[in-house]
Chain A
Amino acid sequence: MKEHANIIVAPRIKPESTIGFIYKTVLSLKGGLMSTLKYFFKSVFVSTITMEYPENKHRIKIADRFRAKLVLISKNLSSPHKCTGCKVCEKTCPNKSIYIMSHKGISQKIELKNFIWRLDACTFCNACVIACPFDALTFKNNFEQAVYDRRLLIYNLNRYIGPPQSYFKKNTAKENSVVLLKPYEKISLQEILGKC
């Protein structure tokens, strides 16, 4: 072990005579009691540090990087997103919380059909967001995700089924004519739970 230049050694408690001990007791207990009393008056007359949750919902500021719910970046659920169905996020996810169903679509390339994300299995490690080559995913910070039934925690992140945003950048004229909003297909729970 090397010799260190800066070492601080912990002090020992000095032994005292009886009178000194009584004096030290009184001083130390008084010091401790005074510091708690200061917080007592601060809590009663100024404010406590508790954030009273449902009443302060409008004032509360959650950090925007806080990871609470996975979303595909798009204007709204029915407008094109950037996902191409390449399945990199599904392979990167450490515990298989993502299941991507893709098909060959209108643009004659692989397109996303269903992006299934399981909130009950996800560890919010952020791997999928950073691994996505098209920056299609992000985490939103609305933390109130509690539901009454566990099956409601399996989310289907897209409503829009069609070519991604990059397709419409190249073929802008087709945007109005290629509006594809299919209703939800029914996916069986067994199929998802078998795959994830």
Chain B
Amino acid sequence: MTIQLKTLNEILHNLDEKKHWGTKEYFINMGPQHPSSHGVLRFVLKLEGEIIKEIIPILGYIHRGIEKIGESVSYRNFVHLTDRCDYFSSIINNWAVSRTIEQALNMETNDRIETIRTIFAEIQRIQSHTMWWGVFGMDLGAFTPFFYGFRDREFLTSIVEETCGSRLTMNYIQPGGVLYDIKSNFIKRIKQYIKYLRPRIEEYERLISDNVIVQKRTENIGILTKEKALSFGSTGPVLRASGVPLDLRKNDSYGVYDKVKFSVVIGTKGDSWDRYWIRIEEMRQSLNIIEQLVDNIPAGKHMVTKYTTKIKLPVGYYQSSIETARGILGIFVASNGMENPYRIHMRSPNYNNLWSITDMAVGLKISDLVTIVSTLDLIIPDVDR
């Protein structure tokens, strides 16, 4: 099925003069500076009273030209630029680029590297979801969950800082391995954290999930049917909430995901409640994965090739994808045999998830728009790159 998207100019030219000037319908700008900021996202809303008739997202306020910069840096140096796209879970972005380059060069990495990469990806997923939960509470009006979510994320950040050397932009997973080997007390700290977080998730449920106000505000709000979700190209929890069990960790396994047992969480109706509940359950599944892996990290080297060897991909097109906390991140590389890529493109999950708002929020109120944008879990620097 086709989706019709309109630009702001089209809508302004086709205005019905009588209806517009009769104070029934009006345009309002939910500007790039938001109190509930997921980044700099601008919406132009066409409202009738409080009911939304049309939404037009206007992007580009944080476009930094990462793909263009990629054409003038080497392959290895491009990895640290991807950190800055989806900064709540930056190690997973590094893995996407590394996986593409390794597949292109047919580079085999050993089990230790893959296990460490899987553990860190799941750690970043938990960090992203706890932070998302806090921001969700704050968007709905409860200001304390924000601090609780941030506190739980902070414990993991200090564990990651010990091994990777940085707290937000890690640049950790490189083509050929990981940058540093894990520290000696990493395993002990991770086990302590798993014991700490499991009762916390119960508390999250008590504070927000069981709350009648939240249930009334998210149930049947922002329904995205299966067909529409697939035609918008949404992925990740947004797609799984509509009932499609697409999870790249199971469908197209990378790392050691095929050796661990975990469940894929799907929803039935595709409303905000499903999207919310899926992420809470995904946190538990990530804890299960880490618990199964952390005791049995095999021995080996942490980097298979030398860092200073030049990477030159043979001429051709290469593509691969990874399941981040928000959806499928795809990297496409076009190479002409030189040191720098000819063209490198990132298929960002948040871009496709964002446009589903134009269909979901029509007919709902402004408060519902805030709820829906919050459950889509957008990071605008990833949309604009």
Assuming the contacts A1-B251, A13-B215, A127-B76, asked whether A7 and B266 have C-beta atoms less than 8 A apart, the reply is: yes
User: Binary interface profile of B, 228-263, with partner A (CB < 8 Å = 1, else 0)?
Assistant: 000000000000010011100011000000000111
Q: Are A24 and B251 within 8 A (Cβ)?
A: no
Complex-state Cα separation, A176 to B245, whole angstroms: 72
B73 interface residue, CB < 8 Å from A? yes
* B50 interface contact, C-beta 8 A: no
Contact of B250 among A2, A31, A35, A88 (CB under 8 A): A2
Q: Are A63 and B162 in contact (CB-based, < 8 A)?
A: yes
The distance in angstroms between the C-alpha atoms of A125 and B172, with both chains bound, is 9
- The minimal Cβ–Cβ distance linking A171 to chain B, given in whole angstroms, is 28
A159–B264 Cα gap in the complex (Å)? 58
Give residues 29-54 of A contacting B (CB, 8 Å).
29, 31-32, 35-36, 39, 49
Cβ of A9 and Cβ of B250 under 8 Å apart? Answer: no
B169 touches A35 (CB 8 A): no
CA distance A68 to B165 in the complex (A): 9
Inter-subunit contact A63/B158 (CB<8 Å): yes
Q: State the CA gap A10–B77 with chains docked (Å).
A: 41
Do A66 and B166 touch (CB < 8 A)? yes
B166 touches A24 (CB 8 A): no
Q: Cβ of A36 and Cβ of B161 under 8 Å apart?
A: no
Render B157-187 as a binary contact track against A, CB cut-off 8 A, 1 for contact.
0100111111101010000000110010000
A76: CB under 8 A from chain B? no
Give the residues from 128 to 159 in chain A that come closer than 8 angstroms, CB to CB, to chain B: 130-131, 133, 139
Do A24 and B212 have beta carbons less than 8 Å apart?
A: yes
Docked complex: A52-67 residues within 8 A CB-CB of B: 63, 65-67
Is A17 positioned at the interface, with any CB of B under 8 Å from its CB?
no
User: With A65-B164, A88-B308 given, is the CB distance from A2 to B207 under 8 Å?
Assistant: no
Q: Say whether B77 contacts A127, CB under 8 Å.
A: yes
* Residues on A with beta carbons closer than 8 Å to the beta carbon of B165: 63, 65-67, 126, 139
Chain B CB within 8 A of A186 CB = no
Q: How far is the CA of A36 from the CA of B265 in the complex (A)?
A: 29
A4 within 8 Å of B (CB atoms):
yes
Q: Contact at A13–B219, with CB atoms within 8 Å?
A: yes
Known contacts A65-B162, A65-B180, A66-B166; A8 and B281 CB within 8 A of each other: yes
Q: How many A-B residue pairs have CB under 8 A?
A: 118
B269 at the interface (CB under 8 A from A): yes
Taking the complex as formed, is B206 at the interface, i.e. its CB lies under 8 A from any CB of chain A? yes
Q: Is the CB of B80 within 8 A of A10?
A: no
Closest chain-B Cβ to A12's Cβ sits at a distance in Å of 7
Cβ-based interface call for B227 (8 A) = no
Q: How far is the CA of A85 from the CA of B251 in the complex (A)?
A: 49
Q: Which residue of B lies closest to A64 (CB)?
A: B162
Report chain A residues within 8 Å CB of B179. 126, 130
Write out the residue numbers on chain B whose beta carbons fall within 8 Å of the beta carbon of A7: 245, 263-266
| A residues near B76, Cβ cutoff 8 Å | 92, 127
Residue of B73, B250, B269, B281 touching A4 (CB-CB under 8 A): B250
Contact indicator A6/B162 (Cβ below 8 Å):
no
Residues of B within 8 A of A (CB): 73-74, 76-77, 80-81, 144, 148, 151, 158, 161-167, 169, 171, 179-180, 183, 203, 206-208, 210-212, 215, 219, 241, 244-246, 250-251, 261-269, 273-274, 277-278, 281, 307-308
Extra A-B contacts (4), CB below 8 Å, given A10-B268, A94-B77: A6-B264, A8-B281, A28-B211, A127-B76
Which 4 A/B pairs are nearest by Cβ-Cβ distance? A94-B77, A6-B263, A65-B165, A125-B80
**A-B residue pairs in contact (CB < 8 Å), sample of 29:** A1-B244, A1-B246, A4-B263, A4-B264, A6-B262, A7-B245, A8-B266, A8-B281, A10-B241, A10-B268, A12-B269, A12-B273, A13-B273, A24-B212, A25-B212, A27-B210, A32-B206, A36-B144, A63-B165, A65-B163, A65-B164, A92-B308, A94-B81, A124-B166, A125-B80, A125-B169, A126-B179, A133-B308, A139-B165
